[in-house]
Structure 1
Amino acid sequence: MGTFKIEGGVTLRGEVHPQGAKNEALQVLCAVLLTPEKVIISNIPDIIDVNKLINLLVKLGVKVERLGANEFSFQADELNLGYLESEDFKEEGKALRGSIMLVGPLLARFGKGYIPKPGGDKIGRRRLDTHFEGFINLGATFRYNKEDHFYGVEAEELKGTYMLLDEASVTGTANILMAAVLAKGTTTIYNAACEPYTQQLCSMLISMGAKIQGVGSNLLTIEGVSALGGCNHRILPDMIEIGSWIGLAAMTQSEITIKNVGWKHLGLIPTAFRKLGITLELSGEDDIYIPAHTNGYEIQNFIDGSILTVSDAPWPGLTPDLLSVILVVATQARGEILLHQKMFESRLFFVDKLIDMGAKIILCDPHRAVIIGHDFKSKLKATNMSSPDIRAGISLLIAALSAKGTSIIQNIDQIDRGYERIDERLRALGAKIERVN
């Protein structure tokens, strides 16, 4: 396991280009299985989770060719479906939560899809019921082997139907959508997730020949087609990474410009940071400029004067993946904030590391924390810590970069799962960070 050694308290300056979106990449890479024709995808982030999925596709028989930096072609014309029942797949597949989205396209095109219980972040229970209930509604037979935690769905023919999802699951919507595009008849998905990355998947499928209406809403109507063709697709900038750079700039009182952010796809993210008192401006055609907050930043109260509450919600609400960053940024604000993480019951447990660094945080329960900001009058203290998951990892890294002294972060594979060459890009801005193996 790698380690980061960070000398904190250094002011940064410069420009940064956000990577391609991790969560979109995991969806559209699975979609290449829907056609035997060549699919070209650009702006693919070079991160552990995405590379693991590409490796799974290769082992499944997909022909993968690197065309350039972050650009690949994929052709799934000669697949080895026997690999799905191999011990190697059972081991490799469970290491990546995004592997669950292989099931929908495999079921749609080949009538069967299998997957071991996926892993991923240790942030609480993440059930798969929405995925498999959707497949069952389309006519698939479901089975589950409890001994080796292996899921399977099979169908001679999928048939379109109406379904109301029990939760607006992003991966669940993507999985069911990819199964429905080749089903016979019309499928209607209500309470569908409508995140920009789901919209991107819809756009990609439409360019392949799918018939989808309602893109961008929570009501999708899919008229099944007999086959899909190839396409070219470009992945959006990663909104979570963009939010992380905003938080980093404010917390280290640095002047940073984030280039080509895809502003119209950021939703409430700029608003959420502005409520913390952070100044950010849309600069040029599509850049975000964050000035150095040498006088700090002040949390806004609600109109009636009550303490600000920030909580996550399905799109177009605030993404839960940024709450960890917002929490750490609030530790140096003027004022107080109540942060409510509704979705995962273990995501806030990393705050004990911040408390050890001197942050004033009250963990009310597994879902809520009150943060009392220092207003930079008392800097966080450097410490040794371990990254528990991707988003907590980047938040601890931001804390370490702002802290007084030298911090050590272990288990940085968790950060590498979601952030491309983060240490190199930070050094380009002037950060003192070293990767130690």
Structure 2
Amino acid sequence: MASFRVKGGLKLKGEITPQGAKNEALQILCAVLLTADKITINKIPNIRDVNKLIELLSDMGVKVEKIGPESYTFQSDEIDLKYLDTEDFLKKASALRGSVMILGPLLARFGTGKLSKPGGDKIGRRRMDTHFTGFQKLGANFHYDKQREIYNIDGKNLKGAYMLLDEASVTGTANIVMAAVMAEGKTTIYNAACEPYLQQLCDMLNRMGAKISGIGSNLLNIEGVKSLTGTEHTLLPDMIEIGSFIGLAAMTQSEITIKNAQIHRLGIIPDTFRRMGITLEFRGDDIHIPAQQHYEIDTFIDGSILTVADAIWPGFTPDLLSIILVTATQAKGTVLVHQKMFESRLFFVDKLIDMGAQIILCDPHRATVIGLDRKYPLRGIRMTSPDIRAGVALLIAALSAEGISIIDNIEQIDRGYQYIDQRLNALGADIVRID
């Protein structure tokens, strides 16, 4: 188990380029199973979850070639379906939640799929019903082996269908879309997720020969086709990294420019940080955050305390609520952070309280943060990263704190942020990786 030793209180300065989007990468990588042709993908982040998925695809028979620092080619012309029955496959797939999205492509192209219960962040209940209900609407037969915790699906005769999703699940929508692109007839998906990463997947599939309309809305129409061809695709910059860097700049009074941010794809993320009092300057497609000694949280029009809550796109992404929460600890004012989707994602606030933050954990979903306005700096402590996003929030807190902090279990941070210590050290941080 590795740790970070972080010296706090340093002001950072410089330019940083966000990595390719982790959540998009997991969808796009699964889509390579839909064709026997070669697919080129650019801006693939070198992070643990993505690397594990690439390894799993390779074990399944996908030919993987690295052609540049962030570019790969994939060719799925010799997939070994027998590998799906091995304990090695089930073990590797269960360690990675994103592996669930191989099911849609496998059903579409091969008519069969098998997956053990997927892993991922321990942030609360993350049910799989949306995925499997969608597959069943397309005609797949579903069986869950409770003893081995294995999902078995027979999808040899998928046919298009109308479906109203019970929740606008991003991975669920992606999985169903990939299953439907080669199903016979027309599929209509209502209450579909419509976030930029899902739009990217649909655009890529259309370049491969799929017929998907309604992209960017919550109503998708798909005309099934017989087969798909190869293509080239470039991932968007990771919006979660962009938000993390904005929060980091504010907390550490740093002057940071985020390069090539694809601002028009960020939705309400910039405006939400502006409501936290953080100054953002758009310079072309770059975001410049000037050094701020103070930033003041906005209120609602009637003067009541601001609430920042997560919501499905185009609402505020739940992955950035941890960053909003930690950023608020040194703001002037008060904010209520409401994490609606996951009941265990706020449990890292006890570490911030130990560092001197004023936070009231109202219940598993809500926390009230009373900003210290830099009158009382946070203090360095030893803490453990519980999940990807909380881990980076704790890293931001440590970088702003007085003294030395130790963050254990940084494998969680490595799952979502590539070379984060090296990239921040290049801006003037003092982060040492301890194995």
TM superposition score category, shorter chain reference: over 0.9
**1:49-60 alignment, distance < 5 Å:** 49-60=49-60
Q: What is the aligned partner in structure 2 of residue 192 from structure 1? A: 192
User: Could you tell me which amino acid in structure 2 is paired with residue 362 of structure 1?
Assistant: I
Contact 2:25 2:50 in 1 (8 A): yes
RMSD: 0.4
Where 1:325 maps in the other structure, the secondary structure is: helix
Q: What is the aligned partner in structure 2 of residue 24 from structure 1? A: 24
After superposition, the C-alpha distances for 1:372-422 in whole angstroms (9 at most, x for unaligned) are 000011000100000000000000000000000000000000000000000
Q: What is the aligned partner in structure 2 of residue 221 from structure 1? A: 221
How far off its partner does 1:85 sit? Answer: 1.0
CA distance in structure 2 between the partners assigned to 1:82 and 1:388 by the alignment? 35
After superposition, the C-alpha distances for 1:351-375 in whole angstroms (9 at most, x for unaligned) are 0000000000000000000000000
Does residue 306 of structure 2 align to residue 308 of structure 1?
Answer: yes
User: Could you tell me which amino acid in structure 2 is paired with residue 311 of structure 1?
Assistant: A
User: Could you tell me which amino acid in structure 2 is paired with residue 380 of structure 1?
Assistant: L
Does residue 127 of structure 2 align to residue 116 of structure 1?
Answer: no
Does residue 129 of structure 2 align to residue 129 of structure 1?
Answer: yes
User: Could you tell me which amino acid in structure 2 is paired with residue 181 of structure 1?
Assistant: V
CA distance in structure 1 between the partners assigned to 2:59 and 2:252 by the alignment? 43
CA distance in structure 1 between the partners assigned to 2:152 and 2:289 by the alignment? 48
CA distance in structure 2 between the partners assigned to 1:239 and 1:330 by the alignment? 19
CA distance in structure 2 between the partners assigned to 1:327 and 1:84 by the alignment? 41
How far off its partner does 1:156 sit? Answer: 2.0
User: Could you tell me which amino acid in structure 2 is paired with residue 96 of structure 1?
Assistant: L
Q: What is the aligned partner in structure 1 of residue 48 from structure 2? A: 48
After superposition, the C-alpha distances for 1:231-289 in whole angstroms (9 at most, x for unaligned) are 00000000000000000000000000000001011001001100000000111x20000
After superposition, the C-alpha distances for 1:122-180 in whole angstroms (9 at most, x for unaligned) are 00000000000000000000001111110011122100000000000000000000000
CA distance in structure 2 between the partners assigned to 1:342 and 1:333 by the alignment? 23
Greater displacement, 59-68 / 153-162: 153-162
CA distance in structure 2 between the partners assigned to 1:53 and 1:309 by the alignment? 36
CA distance in structure 1 between the partners assigned to 2:373 and 2:177 by the alignment? 47
Q: What is the aligned partner in structure 2 of residue 64 from structure 1? A: 64
Where 1:88 maps in the other structure, the secondary structure is: helix
Where 2:67 maps in the other structure, the secondary structure is: strand
Does residue 248 of structure 2 align to residue 244 of structure 1?
Answer: no
CA distance in structure 2 between the partners assigned to 1:265 and 1:112 by the alignment? 35
CA distance in structure 2 between the partners assigned to 1:416 and 1:342 by the alignment? 25
After superposition, the C-alpha distances for 1:89-111 in whole angstroms (9 at most, x for unaligned) are 11100000000000000000000
Where 1:376 maps in the other structure, the secondary structure is: coil
How far off its partner does 1:88 sit? Answer: 0.2
Number of matched residues?
Answer: 435
Structure 1: segments with no counterpart, 5+ residues: none
CA distance in structure 2 between the partners assigned to 1:250 and 1:55 by the alignment? 37
How far off its partner does 1:317 sit? Answer: 0.2
TM-score, structure 1 as length reference:
0.99
Contact 2:39 2:73 in 1 (8 A): yes
Structure 2: segments with no counterpart, 5+ residues: none
Q: What is the aligned partner in structure 2 of residue 391 from structure 1? A: 389
Q: What is the aligned partner in structure 1 of residue 235 from structure 2? A: 235
Q: What is the aligned partner in structure 2 of residue 286 from structure 1? A: 285
User: Could you tell me which amino acid in structure 1 is paired with residue 315 of structure 2?
Assistant: G
CA distance in structure 2 between the partners assigned to 1:129 and 1:70 by the alignment? 34
User: Could you tell me which amino acid in structure 1 is paired with residue 159 of structure 2?
Assistant: K
CA distance in structure 1 between the partners assigned to 2:155 and 2:256 by the alignment? 52
Where 2:386 maps in the other structure, the secondary structure is: coil
Does residue 199 of structure 2 align to residue 206 of structure 1?
Answer: no
Q: What is the aligned partner in structure 2 of residue 401 from structure 1? A: 399
User: Could you tell me which amino acid in structure 2 is paired with residue 192 of structure 1?
Assistant: A
User: Could you tell me which amino acid in structure 2 is paired with residue 33 of structure 1?
Assistant: L
- Which portions of structure 1, spanning 4 or more consecutive aligned residues, are displaced by more than 4 angstroms? none
Q: 1:376 aligns with which of 374, 378, 389?
A: 374
Greater displacement, 297-306 / 147-156: 147-156
TM-score, structure 2 as length reference:
1.00
User: Could you tell me which amino acid in structure 2 is paired with residue 397 of structure 1?
Assistant: L
Where 2:39 maps in the other structure, the secondary structure is: strand
Contact 2:24 2:235 in 1 (8 A): yes
